[in-house]
Every structure is written in structure tokens, then in C-alpha cells.
Amino acid sequence: MKIVGILLARMGSSRRPGKSLADVSGAPLITRILQRMLAFDRFDEVVLASPDTEQDQPLLAAGKAAGAIPFAGSEEDVLDRLYQAAKARGADIIVHIGGDCPFCDHELMGRALDMLLEGEAEFVSNLNPMTYPAGLDVDAMTIGALERCWERATLKTTRIHCLSYIHQNPEQFRTLNFEHTENIGHLRWTLDYPEDLELVRRVFEALGPQGQYFGMQQILDFLAANPEIAALNAHLSDFVPDQPAYWDSEGYLSDLRDDIANLISEAGLLDGDRNYGAAAATYAQARDMIGELFTRADTFARRHGGADTTTEGIQCMSATNV
């Protein structure tokens, strides 16, 4: 059985372009993440899967220099990039780590693998609900589960946000989630904003300046002893207790609007063909996504200082022409 860790990263991040090569304690961020993955002794291979674009070539080169296997795939269809990378390496088990997860944790990756290998589940995550700090995300899956996700996910949001189809449709998969003993999901150890990067740099400089491994508890202890560092990005937390991890970036909202508009157009065609049952089901799917759009737009507006979040949501809705 071949276990492959796959890191998905790109240079064209919508919120912080080029962050993957940002300097963190004397090395590119991508190198720091890969050092942590390569030090995990349960991976047979570690792959860096990035877009096959000119701007991503330095990223792929940095990954190869760090010791990872580079894989170039689709820029926009991130699910396809993950699936094709897994297929190319002959993976039986895949552990997915995101490029905005600088502190990927050996204990959590090991726990996900243990639960998966027990055989009851084909997809294990710590995101539904999210009780660990944002940025300690881990997904472990069989190649069969990933392949079915790749086959069934058709919406733009489920192709770009590559495993969201499984998170949104757990009844179609044998899934398990593991949680922390206390809910600390409000902590931001991810990378979207300058304040996030500053916190990451300060942690690496203190705990692993030469790439030494350190775990979640060491970070918690360090931040408890240095509250001024913990406060650097605390105001950016978008944590919602007891809810699945979700995306509220401007890019995700735009993708969601596109999906709603396409579904309504599709439903109209079905209705015109008198396929009323399928039309009703498609309209219902669009309706549910409209509710999701309002929720996410509200969070986005609050984070960015929107005075009237309902107005923000309506503005997002109007952009869909629905």
C-alpha cells in the first residue's frame, strides 16, 4: 500500500499572490511546509502539485530542491490536479495538505491515517466541524474516494475547492471526522493576510529557524507565553463554532455566484423541455446555494468592515442576475 502526501500550492493566490515563496526564517514558505511533510515517516512519497504555468515554475523548482516530487497540473481545476497527481504516483492512500497550512502536524496526519487504515472510512478529516486551529487542516482518503469525488463534482466551487464535494455530500462517502479535546478553531494559523504571515514567521523563528520540526502543543505554549504575537491576526478570525470549515474569500463568493447563475440557467432549460422534476430539483439546489451565498457574504462583509451585511449579501446576489 502506497501512502502519498500531496501538497497543493500555487503562486496565483487570490488573497496573497506569491505567498508560497515568501521568506520564512531564511527559506521559502513552500520549503518549510515540505520539510515538515518530508519528516513524517509514514509517507512513501511527498508530492508538490502546482499549476502548469510559467509563473509556477519557480515554485515547482523550489519543491524539487526541497526533496519533493513536482507535479504540474491544471491551474483552475484543483480537484483534477490532486487526482491526476495521485494517479501519476500510483497512490493507494492520499493525505492532502493545503499550501496555506504552514504548520502541518505529524500527530494529526498520523491520526487521520490510523482512522482511515482501520477500514471503516474512506475519507477522514478534521474539518467537519473544525475544532483545530485554521491551518492544521488534514484530509486523508483512499484513491477510490478521491476518484468518485473527481467523477461526481461538477460545480465550479467543487472543482476549485477540491474536496468540498465530499465535505458537502458526506452521505455519498464513508467519512469520519476527528476533533480536538477543546474547540480552538478560532485560532488562525493559516496564510491569507500579511498579519498571518507575520505570525507564521515569528513562530518559525522561535521554534524552528533551521526547519526543525515542532508540533501543535509547542505552538500553543509559545503563543500563550507571547500574547502579543498571538494577537497579530486574532482580529481576522472567521470561526463559526460547530460548523464545517468553509471559505468566505472573494474568489469563493465569485465562484459560488457563477454556480448559482449556471444552475438557474440549466433549470430554465429543463423547464422549457417540460422536464419539470429535474427543473424543480435544480432550482432547489440553486436556492440552497443562494442561502449559502448570503451566509458567506455576511461573514466576508463583517471581516472587511461592511456596515450593513444584509446589503452586502444583496449586492453579491445582484451580481448573479437572480
| Structural domain includes residue 214 | no
| Structural domain includes residue 220 | no
Q: For residues 148 and 279, state if they share a domain.
A: no
- How confident is the model at residue 39, as a pLDDT? 97
Q: How high does pLDDT run on average in the chain?
A: 87
Q: What is the per-residue pLDDT across 153-198, written as a single tens digit (0 to 9) for each? A: 988 888 888 898 998 889 999 999 999 999 999 899 999 889 999 9
Q: What is the CATH number of the domain that holds 78?
A: 3.90.550.10
Residue 227 in this model has a pLDDT that exceeds 90: yes
Q: Using an 8 Å Cβ cutoff, are 250 and 305 in contact?
A: no
pTM of the model: 0.83
Q: Which of 125, 154, 177 represents a domain boundary (last residue)? A: 177
Q: For residues 148 and 281, state if they share a domain.
A: no
Residue 243 in this model has a pLDDT that exceeds 60: no
- How confident is the model at residue 321, as a pLDDT? 45
Q: Which of 137, 160, 177 represents a domain boundary (last residue)? A: 177
Mean pLDDT computed over 242-257: 60
- How confident is the model at residue 299, as a pLDDT? 62
Q: Which domain holds residue 297?
A: 250-318
Q: How many domains does the chain have?
A: 2
Residue 317 in this model has a pLDDT that exceeds 50: no
| Bigger pLDDT: 136 vs 161 | 136
Q: For residues 20 and 114, state if they share a domain.
A: yes
- How confident is the model at residue 296, as a pLDDT? 67
| Structural domain includes residue 68 | yes
Percentage of the chain modeled with pLDDT above 90: 62
Q: Which of 160, 177, 194 represents a domain boundary (last residue)? A: 177
| Structural domain includes residue 197 | no
**Confidence at 308, pLDDT banded by 50, 70, 90:** very low
| Structural domain includes residue 55 | yes
Q: What is the per-residue pLDDT across 78-131, written as a single tens digit (0 to 9) for each? A: 999 999 999 999 999 999 999 999 999 999 999 999 999 999 999 999 998 889
- How confident is the model at residue 73, as a pLDDT? 97
Residue 7 in this model has a pLDDT that exceeds 60: yes
- How confident is the model at residue 239, as a pLDDT? 54
| Structural domain includes residue 183 | no
Q: What is the per-residue pLDDT across 269-303, written as a single tens digit (0 to 9) for each? A: 887 878 888 888 877 878 877 877 777 666 666 65
| Bigger pLDDT: 291 vs 31 | 31
Q: For residues 38 and 154, state if they share a domain.
A: yes
Q: For residues 163 and 268, state if they share a domain.
A: no
Q: For residues 172 and 272, state if they share a domain.
A: no
| Structural domain includes residue 227 | no
Q: For residues 8 and 105, state if they share a domain.
A: yes
Residue 141 in this model has a pLDDT that exceeds 70: yes
| Structural domain includes residue 278 | yes
Q: For residues 20 and 168, state if they share a domain.
A: yes
